[in-house]
Amino acid sequence: MGVKKFILIIVVIVLILSFGFSLHAKDFYVSKTTGKNSNPGTRDKPYKNIDKAIKSAQSGDRVHVAAGIYSGTFDIGYLECKKALIFLGSYAADFSSRDIMKHTTIFQPGNKSGARSRKALLRFGTEVDGLVVDGFVFDMGMRNSYSASEGKPQGLDTGMLLLPPKKMKGQNATVTETCISIPGSAGGGEIQIRNNMFLNGAKFAIQGGHRQGTMKIINNVFVANRMGAIEIYGTCGSRKSATGCGEVEIAYNTILFSWSRTKEMTDMGYGIRIMTRLKYNIHHNLIGGNVLAGVDHSRFNKDEWIKMDHNIFFANKSADLQYSPASNTRLDLRVNQFEDLEFASCTGNKSEIPKSLALDKEYLSGFLNARYSEQADYDPNSPVNQWREAWGLNKQGKLSSKTTMYGNRYDWKGALRLFGSVAGYGAQSFKGN
């Protein structure tokens, strides 16, 4: 064997070992309307359920999902994936084109699923390098339990969100889990969550750990999620904390109406939560109508690891940026105060109401007027309390509360109009191949 031929063989072997993972990637197809799980999962004979494709695929494979409403096989209400797959949604019935407006792929479990499972809508395992989630609507609005009348502004379909153990009669309690969950044990790598919509989440839209590499959260719409839209934390350990575990890029997202942890509306309710041991590049987002703050930076992550540029902030109730520069210190800052921040970069941010933003006006009106109040009814001289006093018992009163709006369901069809409603900021219109 000649030297040149030997070198060529070695090069080919190296290329196969290096890129064979992607060269041999397979495509699997899913259609709720035309598929069967007994099919081979091809374009002409797709599977019926996403779970079936996950079971059949290997890391690096692509899962193409046609339009339809999915909720897991047997309506179990969740998906679990321990492989780094590429999920592509919102295909036409024949898989010829993708368009989230025309061919929406929506994962939307019903309330009955809460009796069988109480898990995140989509939970990943430790292998996530190369993971892509692209072109889906994740809506927890039908799985949650809402009051029929309390906290129901005029024009809205539901009353306030009910948190366990409270629930509507005949329903299962709200499942207070995340829409997309990446465990702290995940290995990290290159991750992309793009062109999706997250609505009515009962505990964060995206929450997870990141060990290394870059996580890109790009061109998504977040509406009416409890506690926050995005919370990503570093998991590489203290030995690497000097350089950071990796980077999170959060760009061109529309983030609206993040609700607080409880109906008192005093704890959480963030658009983006900057966590520890990660570098953040936050740019060209629309961040508005969050109960507490558009961005939370109170976990003492390093300022020099943060870039926050060219975002539009508006109508965040407590602050555009909640900032803790030191222990026991919290500052509620507005955009006009950002120039004093010592971030790696903080330029081009604006405070303005985007007039073209395609909002549900009745939902917006209810949010802007949302209030929580308490009223105590205590009469120490009432006959009951006099009798209790005579018997050496504590006197009692009654405390009643009222909430005008809290976590009410936002209609997913109306929320689709938020894609592309503000040129250059927030989620833009897209059509995939």
Mean pLDDT over 130-145 rounds to: 97
Q: pLDDT band at residue 116, thresholds of 50, 70 and 90?
A: confident
Per residue in 226-267, pLDDT (tens digit) is 999 999 999 997 655 667 899 999 999 999 999 999 998 889
Q: What is the pLDDT of residue 431?
A: 75
Q: Spell out the domains of the chain, with CATH numbers in brackets.
A: 22-367+407-418 (2.160.20), 371-403 (no CATH)
Count of alpha carbons within 13 angstroms of residue 237, beta-carbon side = 4
What pLDDT score was predicted for residue 11?
53
User: How far from chain centre, in Å, is Cα 184?
Assistant: 16
Mean pLDDT of the 101-123 span: 95
Q: pLDDT higher for 371 or 138?
A: 138
Q: For position 128, what pLDDT does the model report?
A: 97
Is pLDDT of 398 > 90? Answer: no
Give the bridge partners for 372, in sequence order.
Answer: 403
* Mean pLDDT, residues 2-6 taken together: 63
What is the percent of the chain with per-residue pLDDT over 70, rounded to a whole number?
Answer: 87
pTM of the predicted model, to two decimals?
A: 0.89
How high is the mean pLDDT of the chain? 90
Instruction: Specify the pLDDT at position 20.
Output: 43
